[in-house]
Structure 1
Amino acid sequence: MAISRKLVLLLIYIVIAAPPRADAAITCSTVLNGLIPCLSFVVNGGKVPPTCCRGIKSLYGIAKTTVDRKGVCSCLKIAASSVSGINFKNAAALPGKCGVKNIPFKISPKADCSKVR
């Protein structure tokens, strides 16, 4: 099933409205652009698109500092709170399905990003 136009517009709004983090090298725009290909899986399940896994691996590779990891967590928390229809079991399964282990937080609107190291 294709991602609805409303969902894409909501994500664009999140990218524009999310406050910039002066201390983080990774912006919310970078996070969300890398993970847009994952939306179909987190909403509908099925097969994880290869472009989704590339985005997850790329973010994991560039989020080297605690500040960057907290920034990624915060961006994902905003998205998780704002996008309806997300199946959080699917979202939690993404890193493992893409061969990325040791993600220091869960993709959830209840994530405590202050504890990310």
Structure 2
Amino acid sequence: MRNITTTTRKMLLLVITILLGIAYHGEAIACPQVNMYLAQCLPYLKAGGNPSPMCCNGLNSLKAAAPEKADRQVACNCLKSVANTIPGINDDFAKQLPAKCGVNIGVPFSKTVDCNSIN
């Protein structure tokens, strides 16, 4: 019985190690995650004014989740897609959002940005 438990533990450890390796080498960010971070920003993106603290917190979370160039390019494409899909998003408000929150995430908010040029 003990051999089965030891074998099971070894297999479980191996599976966890493989999954961590896949997660580490795969994209660290995806569009649903980007959308979740910035969902609280929709009122600001449509009407302007001041972004809510929850919106700015989401922007900070997005910055932390997209530390690498590839992550920022994925986030850029997600933001561009949302901006072109959801009616009423004002491109000028979107461009001003990082400055209004005091967060430089390295991803311009624009419907027309070339995401391949992000560094």
TM-score w.r.t. the length of structure 1 is 0.75
CA RMSD of aligned residues (A): 1.5
Kindly provide the CA deviation profile for residues 37-85 of structure 1, in whole angstroms up to 9, marking residues without a partner as x: 0000010112211100000011112211111010000100110111111
SS in 1 for 2:28: coil
- Greater radius of gyration (CA): 2
Q: Which residue of 1 aligns with 2:107?
A: 105
Q: 2:91 aligns with which of 84, 88, 108?
A: 88
Letter of the aligned partner of 1:109 in structure 2?
Answer: K
Q: Which residue of 2 aligns with 1:69?
A: 72
SS in 1 for 2:106: coil
Identical counterparts, % of pairs: 39
TM-score w.r.t. the length of structure 2 is 0.74
Letter of the aligned partner of 2:63 in structure 1?
Answer: Y
Letter of the aligned partner of 2:80 in structure 1?
Answer: K
| Contiguous gaps of at least 5 residues in structure 1 | 1-21
Say if 2:29 and 2:75, in contact at 8 Å, map to a contact too.
Answer: yes
Kindly provide the CA deviation profile for residues 3-56 of structure 1, in whole angstroms up to 9, marking residues without a partner as x: xxxxxxxxxxxxxxxxxxx94210100100110100000101122111000000
Q: Quote the Cα distance in structure 2 between the aligned partners of 1:23 and 1:82.
A: 26
Q: Flag the 1:23–1:116 CA change in 2: closer, same or farther, 3 A.
A: farther
